[in-house]
Amino acid sequence: MKIALINENSQAAKNGIIHDALTSVVEPLGHEVHNYGMYSADDAAQLTYPMVGILTGILINSGAADFVISGCGTGSGSMLAANAMPGVFCGLIIDPTDAFLFAQINDGNAVAMPYAKGFGWAAELNLQDCYRKLFEGESGVGYPKERAAIMAKNRTVLADLKKASCHDMLSVLKNVDQDLLKSAIAGEKFADLFYANSQDEEISSYLRGL
């Protein structure tokens, strides 16, 4: 699985902590981590949480990433922005129980985490425990098990609602503010990471054209 890491500018200084916690858990499980930044508060490309949402949509819909780990001060902004994108199902994850239940019940493809609120002593241990609950087992199994069938049905209903209420990603890219979009993909490693992994030539071609 290709797991993308994105965090917005207010929490850019914590990228290293987040990246280390994530890789320490998922790389032994055989997953790849692609760090899209921000990498430091001084980065030339400054990602706001709406840009995190756009970037999450690009990565998921192009197939450049299978799962996105995002976040901001509270996690709520990144979650809302991500869920505005077609094909993205993003949960707000604060503790390992959230992570376990989101994986088992919702089986989404992105999470948003708070990197300021409640980010205190041993925060990196909480991150590691959350990532374990997200990735070490099979997702979508259901909890409690006796409700697994109805949970799977509801996920299908939600996916159908999303398709009915959202444009396709290429239409989104063409219709959003183009300066905002350019800023969202301006990270120093975006081109190297994205174009090598994207599986959607239409999305790739449009972004190259910017």
CB atoms within 10 A of CB 206: 16
pLDDT on residue 4: 98
What ranges do the domains of the chain cover? 2-203
Global confidence as pTM: 0.96
DSSP string, 101-164: HIIIII--SEEEEESSTT--TTHHHHHHHHHHHHHSS-TT--SSGGGHHHHHHHHHHHHHHHHH
Chain segment 197-209, per-residue pLDDT in tens = 999 999 999 999 9
Answer for the pair 8, 48: CB distance below 8 angstroms, yes or no. yes
> What is the architecture, at CATH level 2, of domain 2-203?
3-Layer(aba) Sandwich (3.40)
Residue-level pLDDT at 23: 98
Mean pLDDT (the chain, rounded): 97
Q: Among 87-91, 107-111, 137-141, which stretch is predicted with the lowest mean pLDDT?
A: 137-141
The share of the chain scoring above pLDDT 70, in percent, equals 100
